[in-house]
């Protein structure tokens, strides 16, 4: 089932909403910048993939044949200036005593587990940067003469050789050059390394022979090469977090222009999710402890509560993380799961033959609003409200509501017809009370209330609360974790 509304997306290149017009009719080819696998991903990083997943799901919902690529950066991404431009992978290897390859394998697996927890659909292909090094060398060779110059430290791209460098960022400043080593001899601060030579006398774990000596590809080069190799040029949509709008993507565009020999930027539409922020500073890996999906699970929050939190905000809005906000998202998800469970149960008992009613029509009207909201630059907050409206109409036959729910869930991605409230009840890591102990205390409390012994009933409730268990009178599941 699809709606007729034209899909409009906000293009960071033009800073305008634009109709989606695929390069290849009926297809949608999308490339998302993936993680650098030197550490765990924080929940801010995961917002970028929930966003890319939502985009992919909407494209499929609209009937396009989706080809989505996400890369794994396992070489070439530099640390800040202060580290004098180390490769993040090499640095992590030196600190841990493990090989860069082992580190990459470990954090890639952790990342994929987090995606799975969030119901993020796997891409058609994961492109791993180190698998494409020969292609990167060929690509660099083809643009070297016209667009690059060689220094002792590597091969650098001269940004003055392409038209409108930095148009995506809208401001050419030296800020943000932190990801690029400050190198003597660069013609412009915005020039960037596409090949970084291993310094004389040093050996790196990850290095390859090239016409410019032993070394490793630059981070920006990787994405241009892998997107061209897998999707062809030009393709439809390139995504990433908003930080990439400033340096990484302008540099990809410059390379694409150099390689394609034309003004085309590579992708027709460049889309960027805004940041998840945390006032406590827990969203920066360099600052030490940071929030991971596992941290949320350890505190008793189901990962899909975080998915809900992301969808409740528009992807272009900044989203502030708080435990209260996450708790509210979990409650909303539970209510929806309960609603769907009820509708599912009703389908088994309601009469087969039903006449078309006005209420049924109302659910379908809201389904239309749901689809329109998504066509309007992926307005998931509004789509969620419309989802709630669809299931709210009591008179609509359950069987119809269920089929609408299934359709909408293709985009929302909660697996509503399988997810149970029991699944959402996750035991916090630090909780000591066992579930049978909770059930026993609740049974005792029930007896006390039946005997109108409210003092005992209140005492039991307080004792449970002290152990992180909140008693919810009137709720069919009866209790919930609430560790603070």
Task: Catalog residues that contact Zn ion under the rule CB under 5 A.
Answer: 33, 223
Q: Which residues contact 380 (CB under 8 A, 6 or more apart)?
A: 54, 311, 312, 313, 314, 315, 373, 374, 412
| Residue range at the interface with ligand AMP (CB under 6 A); choices 62-70, 273-281, 332-340, 401-409 | 273-281
Nearest residue (CB) to ligand AMP, 224 versus 457: 224
Say which entry of Zn ion, ligand AMP, none residue 100 contacts (CB below 5 to 8 A, set by partner kind): none
Residue 434: count other Cβ atoms within 10 Å of its Cβ.
10
Of 7, 13, 28, 36, the one binding ligand AMP by CB under 6 A: 36
Strand ordering across the sheet containing 235-241: 125-128, 65-72, 27-32, 235-241, 267-273
Is-contact 329 141, C-beta < 8 A?
Answer: no
Min dist. Cβ of residue 128 to Zn ion (A): 13
Residue the block writes with tokens 């004389």: 200
CA dihedral 314, 320, 326, 332 (to 10 degrees): -30
DSSP H helices in 9-87: 43-61
126 binds ligand AMP (CB under 6 A): no
Burial readout 25-53 (b: 16 or more C-beta within 10 A, e: otherwise): eeebbbbbbbbbbbbbbbbbbbbbbbbbb
244 binds ligand AMP (CB under 6 A): yes
Nearest residue (CB) to ligand AMP, 74 versus 207: 74
35 binds ligand AMP (CB under 6 A): yes
Q: How many residues bind ligand AMP (CB under 6 A)?
A: 15
Is-contact 401 391, C-beta < 8 A?
Answer: yes
| Residue range at the interface with ligand AMP (CB under 6 A); choices 3-11, 39-47, 184-192, 452-460 | 39-47
Query: Pairing between strand 469-471 and 319-320?
Result: unpaired
Nearest residue (CB) to ligand AMP, 296 versus 408: 296
Min dist. Cβ of residue 225 to Zn ion (A): 10
Strand partners, 208: 215
Of 101, 149, 208, 275, the one binding ligand AMP by CB under 6 A: 275
Min dist. Cβ of residue 312 to ligand AMP (A): 15
Min dist. Cβ of residue 41 to ligand AMP (A): 7
Q: Write out the residues near ligand AMP by the rule CB under 6 A.
A: 33, 35-36, 44-45, 47-48, 240-241, 243-244, 273, 275-276, 283
């Amino acid at each position: 089932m699809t709606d007729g509304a034209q899909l409009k997306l906000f293009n960071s290149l033009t800073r305008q909403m634009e109709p989606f017009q695929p390069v290849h009719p009926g297809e949608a080819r999308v490339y998302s910048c993936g993680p650098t696998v030197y550490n765990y991903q924080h929940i801010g990083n995961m917002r970028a993939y929930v966003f890319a997943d939502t985009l992919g799901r909407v494209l499929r919902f609209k009937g396009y044949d989706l080809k989505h690529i996400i890369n794994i950066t396992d070489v070439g991404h530099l640390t800040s200036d202060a580290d004098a431009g180390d490769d993040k992978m090499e640095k992590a290897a030196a600190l841990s005593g493990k090989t860069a390859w082992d580190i990459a394998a470990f954090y890639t697996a952790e990342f994929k587990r987090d995606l799975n927890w969030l119901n993020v659909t796997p891409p058609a292909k994961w492109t791993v940067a180190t698998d494409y090094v020969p292609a990167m060398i060929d690509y660099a060779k083809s643009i070297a003469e016209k667009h690059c110059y060689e220094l002792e430290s590597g091969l650098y791209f001269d940004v003055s050789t392409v038209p409108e460098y930095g148009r995506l960022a809208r401001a050419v400043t030296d800020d943000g050059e932190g990801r690029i080593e400050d190198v003597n001899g660069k013609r412009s601060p915005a020039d960037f390394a596409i090949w970084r030579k291993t310094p004389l006398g040093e050996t790196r774990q990850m290095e390859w022979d090239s016409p410019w000596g032993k070394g490793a590809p630059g981070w920006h080069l990787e994405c241009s090469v892998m997107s061209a190799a897998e999707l062809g040029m030009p393709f439809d949509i390139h995504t990433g977090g908003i930080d990439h709008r400033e340096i990484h993507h302008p540099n990809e565009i410059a390379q694409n222009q150099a390689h394609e020999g034309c003004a085309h930027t590579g992708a027709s539409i460049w889309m960027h999710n805004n940041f998840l922020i945390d006032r406590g500073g827990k969203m920066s890996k360099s600052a030490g402890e940071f929030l991971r999906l596992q941290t949320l699970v350890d505190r008793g929050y189901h990962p899909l509560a975080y998915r809900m939190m992301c969808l409740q905000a528009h992807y272009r809005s900044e989203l502030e993380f708080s435990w209260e906000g996450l708790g509210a998202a979990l409650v909303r998800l539970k209510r929806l799961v309960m609603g769907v469970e009820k509708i599912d149960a009703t389908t088994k008992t309601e009469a087969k033959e039903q006449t078309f009613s006005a209420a049924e029509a109302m659910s379908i009207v809201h389904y239309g609003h749901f689809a329109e909201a998504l066509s309007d630059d992926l307005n998931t907050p509004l789509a969620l409200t419309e989802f709630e409206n669809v299931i709210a109409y009591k008179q609509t036959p359950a069987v119809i509501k269920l089929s609408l729910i299934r359709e909408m869930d293709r985009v929302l991605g909660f697996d509503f017809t399988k997810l149970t409230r029991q699944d959402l009840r996750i035991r916090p890591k630090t909780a000591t009370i066992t579930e049978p102990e909770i059930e026993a205390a609740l049974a005792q409390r029930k007896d006390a209330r039946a005997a109108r012994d409210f003092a005992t009933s209140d005492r039991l409730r307080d004792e449970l609360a002290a152990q992180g268990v909140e008693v919810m009178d009137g709720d069919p599941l009866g209790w919930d974790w609430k560790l603070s």
